[in-house]
Structure 1
């Protein structure tokens, strides 16, 4: 069971959700059926519900504590009428989205970080979407926690980070497993902490700490605490990766789309 800190702070999810939400201004047709592939303390649902008030939402996450936290936040913000009508997104304790090609949008704010097989996840996202359905997601890149990783390795701690993925590799995975030319970008976020305990809590909330593979986690925490006590670490860097793509149409074998162009076009093609 994946646990959360006693009082989780969802500020990282909020930052990522807001950045992804800015990209939605280009959409002309509002989605009617949105799948939330990972709970994020209600940050994504709050923004998407304001933008698309008539959409139907479903939320999926194998981490039941994350689902419970998101629903608890929602319940504190509902009006009495909303509480009476149970106006909350349906939740499923699973990372597996329904593969019925029914959704208009899959939205995953840090949904990849706790899953071991990104290709299987991306294939599942594609299976859940209608042809030309939209995917929006966020993740952490390989330069994430570079100061902390350098410290640990200098102290002889072996730590692997297989789930920190380069945005170009992620783009290739999307293209090869169900999506038209994906759009990927990234930025760097620098955080300042005064206590190692708060840093670890925030990384646990983000799912990032659990993705690290230590040979000795207890020693890693001890070294981290000493580094903060000795003022050897001031800043922590996160590489934030954003992506979106359009679900490819899947045609039967030996079939191809027919394209028509207006007479004013300089290119005419029928295939």
Structure 2
């Protein structure tokens, strides 16, 4: 995949791929929480599939919320329906309305957190029993070629928010969800201009999620690669996940299931 000036192209691709998984959902959600703003890419798809659903959007980045609001102003949905989407500027761990959502959808929103477990627990509390979680994230192999070159230059790089998909599935299972399903795909983005690269790193939230021994030196090293005439290729491991909110029973109670007698 060759990058273009469209800064939301990756969000759009991941939103579309995740939307295809919704063909398995039998009951239309009425209340949907968007945990991460993506220029209205996700809400637009979800509203087309679930026209009666109400949305609320959360993101710790004011500019991202504004980009989503601006996209809705120029779209037909808001003009035709007169509806607006309530927006909330808050971190992913700040409590959401409890047991209020049928679906929680996060398209690359998790990258803004410092650790995933408190976020998963917050998302689980926000969902009704058997509510659905759909999210996308970046896997552990994202930017490994670039970070490897920086390490060769003596710049240490840690990626605390990039995980193996199986580890994310285990976290979901132990923190409020059951039946987590995870899969991955890889994208290769090729850059000839530093301006486009830095724009994408900001929009994707990837650069800000990394910890450098010297961030200024790392940024300068990347700029030197472009100055030397190199085409920089950034590999993204994209992770898709969905799971179901566990039912929480009062202390001392357990669920009893009845199954038809086999004939």
Q: TM-score under structure 1 normalisation?
A: 0.90
- Structure 1 residues 19 and 97, CA gap change in structure 2 (3 angstroms): farther
Q: How big is each residue's C-alpha offset from its partner over 1:149-168, in whole Å with a ceiling of 9 and x where there is no partner?
A: 01101111122111111111
Q: How far, CA to CA, are the matches of 1:25 and 1:15 in structure 2?
A: 17
2:247 match: 249
Where has structure 1 moved over 3 Å in runs of 4 or more? 78-83, 231-234
Q: How far, CA to CA, are the matches of 1:80 and 1:151 in structure 2?
A: 46
Question: Alignment partner for residue 212 of structure 1, among 210, 213, 224?
Answer: 210
1:67 match: 65
Q: How big is each residue's C-alpha offset from its partner over 1:204-259, in whole Å with a ceiling of 9 and x where there is no partner?
A: 11111111112222221221122123344542100000100000000111211111
1:92 match: 88
Q: How large is the Cα RMSD of the aligned pairs? A: 1.7
The answer to whether the 8 A contact 1:37-1:108 is kept is: yes
The answer to whether the 8 A contact 2:73-2:79 is kept is: no
1:22 match: 20
Q: How far, CA to CA, are the matches of 2:260 and 2:187 in structure 1?
A: 47
Q: How big is each residue's C-alpha offset from its partner over 1:131-186, in whole Å with a ceiling of 9 and x where there is no partner?
A: 10000000001110111101101111122111111111100100000101200000
The answer to whether the 8 A contact 1:33-1:105 is kept is: yes
Q: How far, CA to CA, are the matches of 1:80 and 1:146 in structure 2?
A: 41
Q: How big is each residue's C-alpha offset from its partner over 1:40-75, in whole Å with a ceiling of 9 and x where there is no partner?
A: 111101110111111010001111111011101110
Range with bigger deviation, 234-243 or 126-135: 234-243
Question: Alignment partner for residue 172 of structure 1, among 156, 170, 174?
Answer: 170
1:47 match: 45
Q: How big is each residue's C-alpha offset from its partner over 1:175-201, in whole Å with a ceiling of 9 and x where there is no partner?
A: 000101200000111111111221111
The answer to whether the 8 A contact 1:37-1:97 is kept is: no
* Partner SS, residue 102 of structure 2: strand
- Which protein has the larger Cα radius of gyration, Structure 1 or Structure 2? 1
1:197 match: 195
Q: How far, CA to CA, are the matches of 2:99 and 2:78 in structure 1?
A: 35
Q: How far, CA to CA, are the matches of 2:77 and 2:160 in structure 1?
A: 43
The answer to whether the 8 A contact 2:192-2:231 is kept is: no
- Structure 1 residues 8 and 213, CA gap change in structure 2 (3 angstroms): farther
Q: How far, CA to CA, are the matches of 1:80 and 1:147 in structure 2?
A: 42
- In structure 2, list runs of 5 or more residues that go unmatched: none
2:237 match: 239
- Structure 1 residues 80 and 140, CA gap change in structure 2 (3 angstroms): closer
Q: How far, CA to CA, are the matches of 1:223 and 1:124 in structure 2?
A: 38
- Structure 1 residues 51 and 75, CA gap change in structure 2 (3 angstroms): same
Range with bigger deviation, 121-130 or 219-228: 219-228
